[in-house]
Amino acid sequence: MSWLEIWLRRFTDGEAPYERELLTAILETLGEYAFETHRRRAEATRRLFQQLCEQARAAEFNAILPTVREQRQDERLLVEVHLNDLRDMVWHLLNALAAMTQEEAQEDALIHQQVRQLSQQADTLDIRALRQTLQSITQVIEKRERRQRETLQQLQGQVHHLMRELEQARRESTTDPLTHLYNRRAFESCLQHTVAVNRLFQYPATLLLVDIDHFKQVNDTYGHAAGDEALRATAERLVRVCKRRSDFVARYGGEEFAVILRETALRDAQKIAQQIIDLVRREPVVIPDGEPLRITVSIGLAELQPHETPEQWFQRADELLYQAKQSGRDRMAA
Residues designated catalytic: 255
Task: With CA atoms as reference, report the closest residue to 219 among 135, 285, 167.
Answer: 285
Which residue type sits at 50?
A: Q
Angle between helices 17-32 and 3-12 (to 10 degrees): 90
CA distance 177 to 169: 13
Map 126-171 to HEC letters. Answer: CHHHHHHHHHHHHHHHHHHHHHHHHHHHHHHHHHHHHHHHHHHHHH
CA distance 232 to 106: 63
Are 293 and 284 contacting, i.e. CB atoms less than 8 angstroms apart? yes
How many helices (H) and strands (E) the chain has is answered by 10, 5
Are 248 and 260 contacting, i.e. CB atoms less than 8 angstroms apart? yes
Task: With CA atoms as reference, report the closest residue to 305 among 174, 167, 194, 229.
Answer: 194
Angle between helices 224-241 and 42-57 (to 10 degrees): 140
Q: Is 256 helix (H, G, I), strand (E, B) or coil?
A: strand
